[in-house]
Each structure stands twice: as C-alpha cells, then as structure tokens.
Structure 1
Amino acid sequence: MTILIAGWLDFPPETARSMIEAADPLIRAALDEPGCRAYSWALDPTKAGRIHVFEEWASEADLQFHFDNAPYKQMGDHLRAGGMSDFSVKKYRSDLAEPVYDDQGVPRSDFFTA
C-alpha cells in the first residue's frame, strides 16, 4: 500500500524561498530513508508565501520510521522558527496506481489497467 502526503504550508512571502533552501538537508535526509519514494517542496506560483508539500512512502512502517527519525523532528523546529502561519497536510492510502495516459496517449480519468 502506497501512502501519499500532500498539502501546503504558509509563510511570510519574503521568507518562503529561504525556508525551502534551508530545509534542503532535511529534505535530502528524508529521501534517503527507507521507503521514501518522493519528498518535495515547491513554491506556489499564484499564492505568495505558500509551499506545497508532496511525499510518497512505500508503507506505514516506513512513514512511522520517518516520523520517529531526527530529521523529522528537526523539520518541525525549522517550520516553527520560520513563522509558519497556517498549514493543511493530509495523508492518503493508495492501493492502485497507473498511468494517466493510455497506450494511444489519451488521458483517462477511469482506472483502465486493473
């Protein structure tokens, strides 16, 4: 079962970019953890100060390892020190993943390979 984490974090617009840059070692540490398939922060192009977060984990055990590991705790300190004003981050379980485009290159909203 794949676990996806998606959401956003709000910071003062003048500090959002530096928050990502300063978090780089912690982001890289997460990417080196077992079961971490993706861990990314990106600036929102339409809402100043908003950072979008995306993570993909192979299992609940891998995600728990991440939560118990020092870089996760350090990230919390980093976010609090950076003046985060609001956030919404959720986790999602996924039991099926397949391409958006079929063999003819047509985007499909239905699940067509299962």
Structure 2
Amino acid sequence: MLIVSGRLHVAAEARDAYLADCHEVVTQARSAPGCLDFALSPDLLDPTRINVYERWESDADLTAFRGAGPDAGQQAAILDAEVMRYRISATEPA
C-alpha cells in the first residue's frame, strides 16, 4: 500500500477556485482501480495551503491514474509543493 501525503501552496485568493477545479480529479481518482482514498482540502490555518492525502493499493495503480500529473493550468497555480510517497508494510486499527 502507498500513501501520498503533503501540501500544495497556491495564492490565497486562488485556493477556492483551485479546489473547485479539482472536483473532477477527486471524483475520477476515487473510482480508479486501486484507489483506497483521495482527498484535497483547504488548511484551517494557512490560506495558501491545500492538504493532499491519497491511499493506493500499488505503484502501478497510482501511476496508471496519475499519468502526467496536474494539467498545465493547475501546475501553473502551484507556488510551492511538498508531497511525498510512503510505502506501508503493515496496518492496524488505531
């Protein structure tokens, strides 16, 4: 299992529009083979930050969905990003 987690930063005045533009991406991801969870959300403290959380069954599933990544418009809006991929070897209830 993989978890992709981190943050994106966009201009504060553009964050709501950026997230609205991602609605279809979230919808597609959640129905993609191997996607266990996918969420983009506004940060409660930083008006420029978008929190990223994805959970995938495998690298192949993630790669098949992601393709080339964000479209050019979304990529241009991102001012900074720190998103990492984590390989999970075991899980248990919290």
TM-score by length of structure 1 reads 0.76
Larger RCO: Structure 1 or Structure 2 (Cα < 8 Å, ≥ 6 residues apart)?
2
Q: How many positions carry a matched residue from both structures?
A: 94
Q: Find the aligned partners of 2:54 and 2:22 in 1 and give their Cα distance.
A: 15
Q: Find the aligned partners of 1:89 and 1:26 in 2 and give their Cα distance.
A: 17
Query: AA paired with 1:7?
Result: G
Q: Find the aligned partners of 1:99 and 1:14 in 2 and give their Cα distance.
A: 39
Which residue in the other structure is 2:71 paired with?
A: 76
TM-score by length of structure 2 reads 0.91
Q: Partner of 2:45: helix, strand, or coil?
A: coil
Q: Find the aligned partners of 2:50 and 2:78 in 1 and give their Cα distance.
A: 10
Q: CA RMSD in A?
A: 1.4
In our comparison, the structure showing a higher alpha carbon Rg is 1
Deviations 1:44-96 (A, max 9, x none): 1111110000000001111121123xxx64x3324224x21100000000011
Shift in Å at residue 31 of structure 1? 1.2
Q: Find the aligned partners of 1:93 and 1:76 in 2 and give their Cα distance.
A: 26
Q: Which runs of 5 or more structure 2 residues have no equivalent in the other structure?
A: none
What is the identity percentage for the equivalent residue pairs of Structure 1 and Structure 2? 26
